Each structure stands twice: as C-alpha cells, then as structure tokens.
Structure 1
Amino acid sequence: MVTILDTVQTTRKTRHPEKAHRPDQPVHKKPDWIRVKAPTSRGYSETQAIVKSHNLVTVCEEAGCPNIGECWEKKHATFMIMGEICTRACAFCNVATGRPSALDADEPQNVALAVRQMGLKHVVITSVDRDDLDDGGAQHFVEVIKAIRSESPGTTIEILTPDFLRKENALETVVTAKPDVFNHNLETVPSNYLTVRPGARYFHSIRLLQQVKEIDPTIFTKSGIMVGLGEERNEILQLMDDLRSADVDFLTIGQYLQPTKKHHAVLRFVPPEEFKSLETIAYSKGFLMVSASPLTRSSHHAGDDFARLREARAAKLRAA
C-alpha cells in the first residue's frame, strides 16, 4: 500500500543538503498502527488549491505530517509563516535549513484570506525558526493574528511558536496579541537535546511557557513531545512534572517518524497501549487536556480539542 509517509520521503530525497554530513540511519518499516493512506479526496484537492492560490506554506506539507489527508479533506490546515527555510537543523525535522528570505509583507493578509475562504472556526499558525531576525519573527506573528481577527473575528487562534532564544521582549510582543492558545513544543526529553534539538535549551522552553501564564493567565498553554527517540519512561514523567510546574494546560504525545535516512533514527515504535498509559498519568498530574497516540500531532484535531479545553477549564472553575 502506498502511503503519504512513503510519498513524502520519496519526493524529498534532495531536500536536506545541510544534513548530508550525517551518517545514514536505518529507516525501519512502520507497524500497522502507523500506516495511513495517501490523500486522494476532493476536499484535499480543494484545500491544496486554496493554499497555493494564496502563496502560502503549511507545516502539513513541509513536515510530512501523516494526518494531512484526514485534515485537508476537512479543509483544516496549519499555516507555516515566515517562509519554508529554517535557521536551525534539528535532527528530527523535515523542514529545510538554510538562509531564509525576507519576510513577505503580504503574508498576514494572505493567511487571513485563506482562513476566511476555508471557513475555519479555529486556526493553527506556526513558523520556522528565524534566528536571523532581531525579534525572531515575533511582530510577524502579531500581524498575522491581527489580520485573521480582522477578516474572521469569530475564528479562534492557536499559535505554535519557536523558542525566541536570546530575543529580548519577543515573547511579550506575541502574548500581547492575545492568541487563544500559545503552543511551544519541547519535542523530547532534556537528555536528547544535544542530538535531537541542539539549537534549543530545554529549561528555556519550560520558562517560556511559564512566562506566558505570568503575562496573561487567561491564555491556554500547550506543549508536545515525540516518543521513540530513546527516551526513558521516567524522563517522560519528569517532563510532565516540569510542564505542570509551568502551569501548562495541554500536553500532546506522538510517535516520532523518521523523514529520511539522514534524520535521527526511530529507536522504538511505541504501541498504542503505552500511549494510553501516558495519557492516564498526564491527566493525574493535572493537565486539562491530553492527546496521546501514535499519530497525535500538535495541530491534529486542534479545533475540537480547543472546545474541550475550554470546557475543562470551565468545569474546573465550577468545581473550585
């Protein structure tokens, strides 16, 4: 069976020249619970046409998301702003690395028009890392949020941001725009950072999420990790505690999938029952929402999850 994952890997063999020095890693056959069909629906084609007509980039395509067929069929897409070239070269990521081009001043309005055309009630906006910019792209996030609110005032907005490492006041700039959900992914446990996420700092990311709540306690915060990168179970549980110490509301846990042989190898395919166990533990630690499954991704079912997140907060307040 041809799958979207196989298709992405086939069409991106020359996409990562910056990773060429890395030794090849074995690309293991995926278990049955991971494999998904390649997208062929009419809804998928219509979403693709809308994205292209507004000259936009989506993380669905750039990161080779396994859920693209399901989401695009329903006209759900996660927009990736500030270009398709990242200034970092994380070992897990399928987004190309290099020197990015200048910001597109028309992008905020183009994103907003696409959101309106697709009729999105909830939209997720992410970006590449832009370490080349003085503010890491913070103001561009703000402009996109403003444009969406102008074109689609009823749409709730979730942002998935870089860490804004060494970018003074960048976080404050973004939070002031009051997104409904502020997401920043830890990606993996701290012991893996040097090999998996070398440009980032684990405790800086924890502190970033904590600061969001200090600036505006009404904003929902969210973070996610991948498993299958060699982490130990006790490390995952400690990470949960670290996120709860930062008052993070929502945790996502999904299976890492290796984009190419030049990326970090999958060291283990975690079975569905282990994801269920981690979900149960995470809820016991106080998260308002947890999504844990092999195909869980940060923006998968984001709209439905946001509605559940609001209800969970309301129920907690009623019980207090």
Structure 2
Amino acid sequence: MTPPNPIRTGKPSWLRRKLPSGPEYEKIRAMIGKGQLHTVCQEANCPNQFECFSARTATFLILGATCTRNCRFCNIDGGQPGPPDPDEPRRVADAAADMGLRYVVVTSVTRDDLEDGGAGHFAATIETLRATIPGVQVEVLIPDFQGDRSALETVLSARPDVLNHNTETVRRLYSEVRPQADYRRSLELLARVGEIAPAIPAKSGIMLGLGETEAEVRQTIADIHRTGCRMLTIGQYLQPTPRHLPVVDFIPPEEFDRWRRLALDIGFKKVASGPFVRSSYHAGEMFTGSEK
C-alpha cells in the first residue's frame, strides 16, 4: 500500500452504488429541518446519508455547523462559530424521539473557542436524551478538547454508552491532513477513557487512501489498541470537493477485509472495515451486535 504519485480520478466500481431514497428518507430530512438541527451526514457530505436517512438513522451534529479548525479532509465549514444554543439538547432529544431511535449518535464541530470545548453541551445532550427516551443508548463522537482532561471527564460523567474519538490518519500525515490536531494527543484521549471510566468502551476510526503506507497503517492500528480502545472503524477517504485533499489511492474491498482480520488478531473486539464505513455507520449494530 505504498502511495503512488499520480492523483486518482474517477471512482472504481466498488464505490458506485444506487442511492436509496423514498418516503422514509424524505420524512427524516424534514424532521431534521423542522427541528433546525444539523447532522454530520449532511454537513460532511457523507456518502451514506441516503441509506441512513432511509433507515431512520442519523448522526446529530451539535454546537453549530461551523468548525474552528480547517482539516483538509472534512467538508464542514471552518470559521468563527456563534455561541452554543442552550435549547439544542432538547431539540436533538425531541427529534430522536420522533424518529423512534433507540441508539443515538451525537458528534460536534470542534469548538476551540469555548473554555470547555463544548464538553458541557455534550453532557447536557446526553442527559436530555436519557430523560426524553427511556432506555436510549447514546454514543458520542468527540473532538480532542485540546487535551483538556477535565473536559473529557465532563462528557464521561454523563455516562455515554460509547466514547468515540477518531484518530483519522497515520502520524506522518497529521501535519497535512489535520494541521491543528496532534496524533499523540488523540491517543492520550483514548487512553484516558479507560482511566476515568473503565466501564465505557472507547472507539476510534481511521481513513485509508491519503498516501499512508502499509507499515504506517499497521503501526496506527497497534497504537490505538495500546490505548485500551477495542472498537475500530476503517473506511475509504473520499474527496468532498476540489479544494480538499485528493484521493491518493482507492483501497479495494478485499484489502479492507484484510485490515479487519489484522485488527481482530491484534485484539480489537469490534471492527467495521470497508470502503463505505464511517465512524458512526451502523454504530448501534456494532455496539450491540455479538459478532466480531
């Protein structure tokens, strides 16, 4: 998996599929619009949004739709966001209840402008979901909070069922792909989950196709495992717009299967690996399913 020089153009056959649509898809899209909510499905231009909306699932994006960072792989707009909306947790919970969700994924833009990075807003959203939907399970996909341990403690104190933080790429590519993030800081966050709340499983995800080598992917998977994290997602990077980083390589499905087997052999308990896999794709099934 050495990075070739030419930029890849045109998607291979395994990345082409029909886009589901229909009444359920339109119904969910209308609910989200009515609640004045954001989803990472729409803001990040996720290739699975049609499928997920049609299946009555979505990943809620809190703290606005403007990020204080400018990662070169992400389609969410960067800039200066407005203040957090104190009514947003209620609207998320009401929408999740209307959608009939029993497993809710909540993520956010990165809010380096806030003292706690938005951790209190995460906690309020978790607590409001639990108060609104008895028995609901909640997974949160959080930013790194600039390494602030107390912010992580705030989120974990609300007892999410899964704490997800994406590593995204290999160490060498961080300066190009995530210039305002830090590889070691992300690994430290994952390790702290087990220190602070051992009963809450940590989860992480990486993208392939940005020019990483096979040895670098092996090292990254091993590094994530050493933090105590036991849930992993591996997906294909897709260029959202021409201003984002180009795809260096399209990874065939059999290679994703190989990475899944390697991660399981290392000791991960749950691994989702494939071209269309994203960190919150089929998240409920991954958490509750019995298969490895």
Q: Normalised by the size of structure 1, how large is the TM-score?
A: 0.87
The answer to whether the aligner puts 1:46 opposite 2:27 as a matched pair is yes
Q: Does 1:86 align with 2:63?
A: no
Deviation at 1:293, TM superposition (A): 0.3
Output the amino acid matched with 2:194: K
Shift of 1:312: 6.7
2:225 matches 1:249: no
Task: Report if the CA contact (8 A) 1:135-1:168 is conserved.
Answer: no
1:39 and 1:68 in contact (8 A); partners too? no
1:110 aligns with 2:56: no
1:76 maps to which of 57, 75, 87: 57
Whether 1:128 aligns to 2:128 is: no
Q: Report the TM-score, using the length of structure 2 for normalisation.
A: 0.96
Query: Does structure 1 residue 154 correspond to structure 2 residue 139?
Result: no
Which amino acid counterpart does residue 112 of structure 1 have in structure 2? A
d(CA) in 1 for partners of 2:286, 2:135: 17
Displacement of 1:219 after TM fit?
0.4
- Please name the residue that 1:283 is paired with: 264
- Alpha-carbon distance in 2 for matches of 1:36, 1:232: 28
Deviations 1:99-140 (A, max 9, x none): 001111110000000111111111100000000000000000
Give, in whole Å, the separation in 2 of the partners of 1:40 and 1:115. 20
The one-letter code sitting in structure 1 at the alignment partner of 2:269 is L
In structure 1, which of residues 55, 65, 69 is the aligned counterpart of residue 46 of structure 2? 65
The SS at the match of 1:226 is strand
> What are structure 2's unaligned runs of at least 5 residues?
1-5
Aligned residues: 287
Rounded Cα–Cα distance in structure 2 between residues aligned with 1:176 and 1:106: 21
- How many percent of aligned residue pairs carry the same amino acid? 48
* 1:161 partner amino acid: I
Q: Which string of whole-angstrom CA distances, capped at 9 and with x for unpartnered residues, describes residues 266-314 of structure 1?
A: 0000001100000000000000000100000111111111112xx479x
Name segments (4+ residues, structure 1) moved above 6 Å.
Answer: none
Q: Counterpart in 1 of 2:249?
A: 268
Deviation at 1:244, TM superposition (A): 1.2
Structure 1 counterpart of 2:51, one-letter code: E
Residue of structure 2 equivalent to 1:33: 14
Equivalent position SS for 2:145: coil
Opposite residue 222 of structure 1, the aligned amino acid is K
**What is the CA distance between 1:36 and its match in structure 2?**
2.9
User: SS where residue 169 of structure 1 aligns?
Assistant: helix
Give 5+ residue unaligned stretches, structure 1: 1-24, 314-320
Alignment check: 8 A CA contact 1:134 1:167 kept: no
Equivalent residue letter for 2:12: P
Contact 1:90-1:196 within 8 A present in 2 as well: yes
SS at match of 1:33: helix
Contact 2:8 2:248 in 1 (8 A): no
Q: Is the 8 A contact 1:91 1:196 kept in 2?
A: yes
Tell me the secondary structure at the aligned position of residue 165 of structure 1.
helix
Q: Aligned runs of 1:140-289 on 2, under 5 Å?
A: 140-167=121-148, 169-289=150-270
Which string of whole-angstrom CA distances, capped at 9 and with x for unpartnered residues, describes residues 196-251 of structure 1? Answer: 00110001100101001111111011000000000011111111111111110111
